[in-house]
Amino acid sequence: MNKFTALVRARTMEFLRDRGTFFWNLLFPVILVIGFSFAFGSGGDSLFKIGVSGLKDDSRGTFLELSSIEVIAYDSKSADVIEKLRRHQLDMYIDFDSMTYYLNDESSSSEILRIITGAELSGFTENEISGEPIRYIDWAVPGIIGMNMLFSCLFGVGFVIVRYRKNGVLKRMKATPVSPLLFITAQMSSRFVIVLITSVAVFTGTNLFLHFIVNGSYLLLLLITALAILCMISFGLIFAARLKSEELTSGLMNLLTFPMIIFSGVFFSLEGAPVFMQKASKVMPLTHFIEAARAVMIDGAGLIQIMPNILVLSGMTVGFLIIASMLFRWD
């Protein structure tokens, strides 16, 4: 066994045998994912949602008065509206200007609306598009897993190294021929593998029941996950570089992770948020992971589309590593 393998092995065994931490790392996200899918699962109200454009006073469509139908007016037909229909956020879209209506052939609500509206819309052209519904959980799962990654990286590397410093394990290492770089790289590698495996396991495990939408490539998802983990671990290393007090470290980490989770759009979208908040969220690694993962899963984005996120994450990783290595002290 060489030095590096031995260090990685020791750290990984420590993690695996620390049952509490181990199960917490695995169960916490699973519970969140399943909890959220139940809480926001079935969409709640049974309203039919119809998008319309070009609606005039003399337009046909008495069905639009029905109380079980919600009408959402749009200026004109656009790709956005069609996308909403594809994702089951609308059940039907009627463009009175061009006398066309659109239905989603994978939606049972669309099917019912065809029957309800059929008679009144004679003469209109019917268009069918298809697409699975986007549930809240499809949207939230990258955020939940990302959040868990953030905790696991910060506490599993940053906090643990501070503990090592406090209880003297670092000092014992300093007395051996191991260089700080090697020691830290070993800690990072162990944590990297652990977080990657738990993240993949949580996703795959919950996917068995919840069948998330993944329109893009799994490989790309894996890539962005790996990159985000590296970035978060490097972030954690900045704390690990010098701090001596476990209390201070965990306080600081909580202080920082809390806004990150709120402002990275883990649980709700930032689209309506003030511009400064949206800008501020861009300095957080978690935001870029979530953005990219959602783009791949929901929009089927490819490497090119998520390149900006990839570049930012890589840049941050390098930056964090440089800062951490400049600050690092054994004691």
Segment (H or E) for 127? strand 125-129
Q: Which residues bind to another protein, rule: CB under 8 A?
A: 1-3, 5-7, 9-10, 13-14, 17-18, 164, 167-169, 171-172, 174-178
Give whichever of 60 and 174 is closer to another protein, judged by the CB atom.
Answer: 174
Closest approach of Cβ 159 to another protein, in Å?
14
How big is the CA angle at 318 (ends 313 and 321), to the nearest 5 degrees?
120
Give whichever of 194 and 266 is closer to another protein, judged by the CB atom.
Answer: 194
Closest approach of Cβ 208 to another protein, in Å?
31
Give whichever of 172 and 244 is closer to another protein, judged by the CB atom.
Answer: 172
How big is the CA angle at 297 (ends 295 and 303), to the nearest 5 degrees?
55
Distance CA 90, CA 48 (A): 8
Closest approach of Cβ 35 to another protein, in Å?
30
What is the CA 167 to chain-centroid distance, rounded? 36
Distance CA 214, CA 299 (A): 9
What is the CA 225 to chain-centroid distance, rounded? 10
**Beta-sheet pairing, 125-129 with 100-104:** parallel
Q: The dihedral of CA 177, 182, 188, 190: what is its sign?
A: negative
Give whichever of 178 and 222 is closer to another protein, judged by the CB atom.
Answer: 178
The length of the chain is 331
Side chain identity at residue 307, one-letter code? M
Distance CA 152, CA 259 (A): 17
Q: Checking phi first, is residue 99 left (phi over 0); if not, alpha (psi -120 to 50) or beta?
A: left
Closest approach of Cβ 198 to another protein, in Å?
18
Give whichever of 15 and 263 is closer to another protein, judged by the CB atom.
Answer: 15
Closest approach of Cβ 150 to another protein, in Å?
24
Give whichever of 19 and 56 is closer to another protein, judged by the CB atom.
Answer: 19
Closest approach of Cβ 36 to another protein, in Å?
33
